[in-house]
Structure 1
Amino acid sequence: MAQNRGTIVVLNDTAAIAHYGCKVVMKRIVDEVAAAGFEVKTVSVYSTWRVHQKLIDQAAAVIVNGEGTLHHSAQRAQTLVAVAPYCAARGIPVFLINSVWQDNSADMARQAEDFLLRFVRESRSEKQFAAAGLKAKTVPDLTLGWNYRAAKPAPQRSGRVYTDAVGMPATDLLYRLFREDAGSRYVTMTPPGGHRGDYSDYDFERLPAPFDKTFPLTLRLRLRQIMKRTLLIRGKTKNAIRRMKGHLEMVPLEGFMAALESSELVVTGRFHGVCLCLLTGTPFLALTSNSHKVEGMLEDAGLAHRIVRPADVRAVLAHPPEWSEDDAKKAKAFVQKARRGQKAMFASVLSMAKTESS
């Protein structure tokens, strides 16, 4: 590793979420930043940068992992974007990467002016930034730059795999479709308890909440997180029952990737489920999600015909569209484009970070 060039703080560490796509995203960020010689400290998606201002004030840079957070002026989105003017006022380089940007307020756009660079995952988001008078560059999702290598050659593809979705109605629908589809598999993107083999091999620190004057804010966030998990108990209970019945597979990351590579068709309601299908060249159908992220990415890839509304999925599955040679070429080309863009993105961001000697 190169000599220590200082600390970069990464906000919105979504690897705290039990979801493989988010974990691969954070692996990619930590890998790139640490390999460049920076110490990496992250702030969990369940925390806030406001309780770590002392560290941020001394940082070489702040990177905001936007992921699927910055849409519809949600409270968490507003809080994340507010770090940009905070850093700008103190001369701290601050960057937005890997983000959606959809239907946000004029006030959020004004705060986003202070990001030195803005990188979004699909061109719909780039156009919304442009409509607000701000420049952004489209670089597809970080999962597509993962240097994934299968442990062994994939078998010939057969059968269908269903995954979960954003929201219980769509997840329940996918489960029902799996139950109607003899010989198919239902594989969740939630890892088994305690599994974290998808993290970076580099050392990094997810910042604990400080016990100082900001602790009441941390306590409120913890209570909100507990309440949210309580509201999700119905979904967790359903999954536990489905797993006990042998209907739901919860496997390590390598098992999930193997399931994709052996499937003749994956039906997913997860954005990152689509990304990992693109990465492995797996035929898929993608349900629409809670923002334009799926539609935007697949439009950019020339694969918008693989999108299906939940109301239409059963009819489409009766006569699924062929995964053509052209589809396969477009998927491969899109992954290659993502990797080129990500290499340039990280080079730009890390070259603009301060160093300890500056």
Structure 2
Amino acid sequence: MNDTFDTWHHGCRAVSRVIRKEMEHRGFSLSATSRVGASWWEDSVFVEHAKQADLILINGEGTFHSGSSEAEKCMRIFQEKTSSNRIALINSIWQDNPTSWVDIISNASYISLRDTNSQKKLTEHGVQAHYCPDLSLISSKPISTLNPRSGVAWGDALKRNVTRDLYKGFRSSRGENYFASVRPTHRSPLTSYPLKDLRYSLTCWWKNYSCFNDEEELARFLAQRNLYITGRFHGACLALCAGTPFVAVASNTKKITFLLNDMGLNPARVFTDTKHLLTASPEQWCWSPDEQESLKENLENARSRATKMFDEICAC
């Protein structure tokens, strides 16, 4: 549920791929999915499979904040569930939600949140919640940092006006610069959209975007850069996979700041607007020795926590 596989976004596809792979590795087969934001109860095929499922997984991602309508759709499963259903909420944020939701989410068989701040919020209400960093952090194989790096990569943002500002920064910057789009080359991994894909490829050519088929290609590209300037949470995550220093403009929640805190990195890397990003330099924002050590340790911890989480999900 809240499946992000068929989205036009490297980070979201990465998370969904990890979930599929890890559950299949543990003997589970995927019987049905409901796309992120969908009114799943109107999908009779999904509902029938959900009733018969041994386990229902909710991929929370950035949905569970500010009492969003998308999160409410996911919460409906607890009203519809049968006594035989196990329901797990994983890879989720929990920020600024109604207190009335606490009683509902406490019915979950297992809860794992992707930042310790979210974990603390639920724990304070007496709900047992585990912590495992965002699954995109384990989506790419560890990348060697011995390769020579050069240039600065710019990325996009959730809000279009912020993306425009970042693109203007890329166009006006001197030296070796790239605009690394978080959008995959193909709009969907499941459905063919030849005209839309052609239009996007022409846009990339016209605007001089660097485009990639999947998150591993993007991470390898970022591993060759000195700095990544982004407005995306998953852009930050994939930069960490690549070991590449980044600075970011805040997204629609504090999720990038939470990520930095949990990874032992400088939270000053996140700004409230793009003004300071436009003058950011690799010399100014390279990793400190402490950050390098923390990043290495916490990326290793992310993998071990993910293994533990999936084992516990299957046993819940």
| TM bucket, shorter chain | 0.7 to 0.9
Measure how far apart 1:42 and its partner are: 1.9
Matches for 1:80-91 after TM superposition, within 5 Å: 80-87=74-81, 89-91=82-84
Distance 1:289 1:310, change over 3 A: same
- Equivalent AA in structure 2 for residue 93 of structure 1: R
Measure how far apart 1:299 and its partner are: 1.1
Q: How many residues align?
A: 302
Q: Which has the higher contact order (CA 8 A, sep 6+)?
A: 1
1:249 corresponds to which residue?
210
The CA distance in 1 between the partners of 2:135 and 2:220, in whole Å, is: 20
Q: Does 1:79 align with 2:91?
A: no
Distance 1:18 1:191, change over 3 A: same
Query: What secondary structure sits across from 1:262 in the alignment?
Result: coil
Displaced runs of 4+ in structure 1, greater than 3 A?
152-155, 239-242
Distance 1:58 1:242, change over 3 A: closer
| CA displacement 1:288-335 (0-9 Å, x = unmatched) | 110121111111112113222224424651673332222121111111
Report if the CA contact (8 A) 2:132-2:302 is conserved: yes
Measure how far apart 1:286 and its partner are: 2.1
Segments of 5+ residues of structure 2 without an aligned counterpart are: none
Matches for 1:40-79 after TM superposition, within 5 Å: 40=30, 41-50=32-41, 51=43, 52-79=46-73
2:304 corresponds to which residue?
340
Measure how far apart 1:21 and its partner are: 0.4
TM-score, with structure 1 as normaliser: 0.78
Measure how far apart 1:31 and its partner are: 0.4
For residue 156 of structure 1, the aligned residue among 148, 154, 158 is 148
- Equivalent AA in structure 1 for residue 222 of structure 2: L
TM-score, with structure 2 as normaliser: 0.88
Report if the CA contact (8 A) 2:152-2:177 is conserved: yes
For residue 271 of structure 2, the aligned residue among 295, 301, 308 is 308
| CA displacement 1:197-245 (0-9 Å, x = unmatched) | xx9xxxxxx9xxxxxxxxxxxxxxxxxxxxxxxxxx9xxx9x7775242
Measure how far apart 1:146 and its partner are: 2.4
Query: What secondary structure sits across from 2:186 in the alignment?
Result: coil
The CA distance in 1 between the partners of 2:297 and 2:253, in whole Å, is: 24
Query: What secondary structure sits across from 2:285 in the alignment?
Result: coil
Segments of 5+ residues of structure 1 without an aligned counterpart are: 1-10, 200-205, 207-232, 353-358
Distance 1:54 1:174, change over 3 A: same
Report if the CA contact (8 A) 1:161-1:259 is conserved: no
- Equivalent AA in structure 1 for residue 269 of structure 2: R
Distance 1:240 1:147, change over 3 A: closer
Alpha carbon RMSD of aligned pairs, Å? Answer: 2.5
Report if the CA contact (8 A) 1:287-1:310 is conserved: yes
Using the aligned pairs only, state the percent identity: 28
The CA distance in 2 between the partners of 1:131 and 1:13, in whole Å, is: 28
- Equivalent AA in structure 2 for residue 313 of structure 1: H
